[in-house]
C-alpha cells in the first residue's frame, strides 16, 4: 500500500499504535491476530510503516520517528536530523525567514527549518512522498509553518522566498548516482535555481569533485560522529570559501588556501583527520595546527612529535613502525598478548577483516592494539599504536 490515507484514519492510527515496536519474529503472529478485526491490507501497511519507523530511529530519534510517516526511499535518502538542524540554524543565522525546499522528500529538512522558526514551502513531485511530508508536518505540529505541494520543482515559482534549498535525488533504479548531471533534477539546474535566489543551499554527495563546484559557491562538508554525511554548496555567503563542519558541536574548520604539507619522518603521534576535513582538502590546515607533516605525500595521515588538542583529528601514539609483513605482525601480536585488534588503512589494498583473521592469535589476550596499514615515504608500512590520551579541545572554533 503506497497510499498513506488509510493509515491516517482513526482505525489506521490505532493499528499503528498496536504494532509499535513489533519485532520481526513476532510480525506473523501479530498480523494473524489483527487481521481478525481489520482489513488485511491495512494491517500489512501498519506493520510495514512500523518497520520503517524502526529504521528511521537512527536518523530522527525515537520520539519523532514513532510519530512520523515514511516511504522506503524516504528513510534511505532523508537527512539525519542533527545535520538538518545544523543547516537550518545556519540558515536562520543568515537572516533567512522563509525557504523553498525543493525535492523535500518526506520532510526531514522542512521539519528542521520549521523548528528553527523558518516558514517553508516543501515541494516534491512524488505523490506518496509528498503525502508523507504533509503527514509529518501535521504529526509534529508544524503544519502552520510547512506548506507541502506535490509538483515538479522545475515549475515552482520561488520568487517570494528568502532562500532556496535543493536536495536532488542521487539514487536511481541501479543505486547511487555519481554523475551530478544525472541527479534529478540535474546539478546544473539546481545551481541555476540557487543563483536566482537571494541565498541558497544545495545538498550534494560528499564525493563531488572539487572542480565541479561553481566559483559562486561556498563548499561545506559535514560529518556527524565521525561519519561524513553530505556536502553543501552555499550561495549568497562567501564565494570560493571551503569549510569542514563536525557534529556534534558544531566545530568548523575554514580553509586558508595552504599548500599540501611536507612529508616528514614519523613522529611519536599519528593524527587521523576527520573525513569531512579530508573531503574538504583541509588536511594542511590541521597539519599546521599540529605543527606536523604527512607520512606520505599521497596519504592523509598527519604525524607530529607532540600531542596537541584538536577536534579535527583523532590522535594515536605510535609504538612500532614495521615494513608490511603478515608473519612478523602475527608474531608480534602473539608476543604482546593482543586480543583486541583494530585495523585501519589508507593507501593499502589489504582488507582489514582478512588481516585480522590471519594475525590475531588464538585465544584472547588482555591487550588492545591499533594497526595502520599505509605507506610511509612511499613504502608499504605497518604502524602499531593506541589511541592517545584525550586532550580537551578548548577554544576550538
E strands present in 262-378:
269-273, 293-296, 299-304, 313-323, 338-345, 367-376
Last residue in a domain, options 252, 286, 303? 252
Using the structure block, give the residue that is written with the C-alpha cell 536518523.
59
Whether 236 and 99 map to the same domain: the answer is: yes
| Per-residue pLDDT at 178 | 67
Is residue 328, in this structure, part of any structural domain at all? yes
Whether 303 and 381 map to the same domain: the answer is: yes
Distance from CA of residue 155 to its chain's centroid? 30
pLDDT class of 42 with cuts at 50, 70, 90: very high
pLDDT tens digits for range 54-110: 999 999 999 999 999 999 888 888 999 999 999 999 999 999 999 999 999 999 999
Stretch (H or E) spanning 383? strand 379-387
Is residue 334, in this structure, part of any structural domain at all? yes
Whether 216 and 85 map to the same domain: the answer is: yes
pLDDT class of 394 with cuts at 50, 70, 90: very low
Q: What distance in Å separates the CA atoms of residue 244 and residue 221, rounded to the nearest whole number?
A: 5
pLDDT tens digits for range 317-349: 999 999 999 999 999 999 999 999 999 999 999
Q: What distance in Å separates the CA atoms of residue 50 and residue 39, rounded to the nearest whole number?
A: 17
pLDDT tens digits for range 159-196: 999 999 999 876 655 666 667 776 777 888 888 999 99
How many other C-beta atoms lie within 10 A of the C-beta of residue 247? 19
Alpha helix positions (H), the chain = 10-19, 27-34, 40-60, 62-65, 72-77, 81-93, 108-115, 127-139, 187-195, 275-279, 283-290, 326-335, 352-359
Query: What are 130's three cell numbers?
Result: 509528498
Phi, psi of 167 (to 5 degrees): -125, 80
Whether 120 and 58 map to the same domain: the answer is: no
- Mean pLDDT over 22-35 rounds to 92
The answer to whether the CB of 367 falls within 8 A of the CB of 339 is yes
Is residue 261, in this structure, part of any structural domain at all? no
Nearest in space to 308 (alpha carbons), one of 231, 394, 196: 394
Whether 108 and 41 map to the same domain: the answer is: no
Sheet with 338-345: strands ordered across: 293-296, 299-304, 269-273, 313-323, 379-387, 367-376, 338-345
The DSSP 8-state label assigned to residue 204 in this structure reads E
Q: What distance in Å separates the CA atoms of residue 227 and residue 245, rounded to the nearest whole number?
A: 11
Q: What distance in Å separates the CA atoms of residue 283 and residue 116, rounded to the nearest whole number?
A: 32
Structural domain of 323: 269-387
Whether 210 and 136 map to the same domain: the answer is: yes
Whether 63 and 132 map to the same domain: the answer is: no
| Per-residue pLDDT at 374 | 96
Query: What are 324's three cell numbers?
Result: 608490511
Is residue 308, in this structure, part of any structural domain at all? yes
Is residue 223, in this structure, part of any structural domain at all? yes
Whether 154 and 171 map to the same domain: the answer is: yes
pLDDT tens digits for range 102-150: 999 999 999 999 999 999 999 999 999 999 999 999 999 999 999 999 9
For residue 140, the domain's CATH number is: 3.40.50.150
Q: Is 246 exposed, middle or buried (0-12, 13-18, 19+ CB in 10 A)?
A: buried
Is residue 316, in this structure, part of any structural domain at all? yes
Whether 88 and 144 map to the same domain: the answer is: yes
Residue 185 DSSP SS3: coil
| Per-residue pLDDT at 254 | 97
The answer to whether the CB of 241 falls within 8 A of the CB of 219 is yes
Last residue in a domain, options 16, 35, 67? 67
Query: Maximum CA pair distance of the chain?
Result: 73
Share of the chain above pLDDT 90, in %: 82
Query: What are 310's three cell numbers?
Result: 584538536
| Per-residue pLDDT at 243 | 97
Whether 98 and 150 map to the same domain: the answer is: yes
3-state SS of 190-216 is: HHHHHHCCCEEEEEECCCCCHHHCCCC
Is residue 258, in this structure, part of any structural domain at all? no
Residue 396: pLDDT above 50? no
Stretch (H or E) spanning 247? strand 242-247
The answer to whether the CB of 139 falls within 8 A of the CB of 107 is no
| Per-residue pLDDT at 392 | 54
Last residue in a domain, options 19, 44, 67? 67
Whether 204 and 136 map to the same domain: the answer is: yes
The number of folded domains in the chain is: 3
Cis peptide before 149 (omega within 30 of 0): no
The answer to whether the CB of 163 falls within 8 A of the CB of 96 is yes
Whether 119 and 236 map to the same domain: the answer is: yes
Cis peptide before 250 (omega within 30 of 0): yes
Amino acid at each position: 500500500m503506497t497510499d498513506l490515507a488509510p493509515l491516517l484514519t482513526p482505525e489506521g492510527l490505532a493499528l499503528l499504535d498496536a504494532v509499535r515496536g513489533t519485532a520481526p519474529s513476532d510480525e506473523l503472529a501479530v498480523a494473524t491476530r489483527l487481521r481478525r478485526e481489520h482489513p488485511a491490507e491495512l494491517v500489512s501497511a501498519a506493520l510495514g510503516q512500523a518497520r520503517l519507523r524502526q529504521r528511521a530511529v537512527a536518523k530522527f530519534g525515537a520520539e519523532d520517528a514513532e510519530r512520523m510517516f515514511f516511504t522506503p526511499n524516504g528513510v534511505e535518502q532523508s537527512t539525519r536530523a542533527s545535520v538538518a538542524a545544523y543547516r537550518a540554524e545556519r540558515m536562520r543565522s543568515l537572516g533567512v525567514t522563509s525557504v523553498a525546499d525543493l525535492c523535500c522528500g518526506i520532510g526531514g529538512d522542512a521539519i528542521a527549518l520549521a523548528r528553527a522558526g523558518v516558514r517553508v514551502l516543501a515541494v516534491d513531485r512524488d505523490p506518496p512522498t509528498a503525502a508523507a511530508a504533509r503527514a509529518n508536518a501535521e504529526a509534529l505540529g508544524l503544519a502552520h509553518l510547512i506548506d507541502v505541494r506535490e509538483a515538479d520543482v522545475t515549475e515552482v515559482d520561488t520568487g517570494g522566498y528568502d532562500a532556496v534549498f535543493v536536495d536532488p535525488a542521487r539514487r536511481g533504479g541501479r543505486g547511487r548516482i555519481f554523475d551530478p548531471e544525472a541527479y534529478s533534477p540535474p546539478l546544473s539546474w539546481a545551481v541555476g535555481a540557487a543563483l536566482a535566489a537571494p541565498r541558497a543551499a544545495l545538498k550534494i554527495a560528499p564525493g563531488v569533485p572539487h572542480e565541479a563546484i561553481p566559483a559562486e559557491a561556498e563548499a561545506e562538508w559535514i560529518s556527524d560522529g565521525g561519519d561524513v554525511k553530505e556536502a553543501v554548496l552555499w550561495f549568497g555567503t562567501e564565494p570560493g570559501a571551503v569549510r569542514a563542519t563536525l557534529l556534534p558541536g558544531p566545530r568548523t574548520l575554514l580553509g586558508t588556501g595552504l599548500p599540501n604539507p611536507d612529508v616528514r619522518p614519523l613522529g611519536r603521534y599519528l593524527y587521523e583527520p576527520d573525513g569531512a576535513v579530508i573531503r574538504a582538502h583541509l588536511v594542511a590546515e590541521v597539519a599546521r595546527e599540529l605543527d606536523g607533516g604527512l607520512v606520505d605525500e599521497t596519504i592523509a595521515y598527519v604525524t607530529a612529535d607532540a600531542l596537541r588538542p584538536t577536534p579535527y583529528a583523532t590522535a594515536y601514539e605510535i609504538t612500532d613502525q614495521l615494513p608490511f609483513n603478515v608473519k612478523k605482525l602475527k608474531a608480534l601480536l602473539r608476543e604482546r598478548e593482543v586480543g583486541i585488534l583494530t585495523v585501519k588503512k589508507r593507501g593499502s589494498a589489504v582488507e582489514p577483516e582478512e588481516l585480522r583473521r590471519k594475525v590475531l592469535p588464538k585465544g584472547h589476550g588482555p591487550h588492545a592494539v591499533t594497526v595502520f596499514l599505509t605507506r610511509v615515504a612511499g613504502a608499504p608500512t605497518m604502524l602499531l599504536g593506541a589511541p592517545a590520551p584525550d586532550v580537551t579541545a578548548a577554544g576550538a572554533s
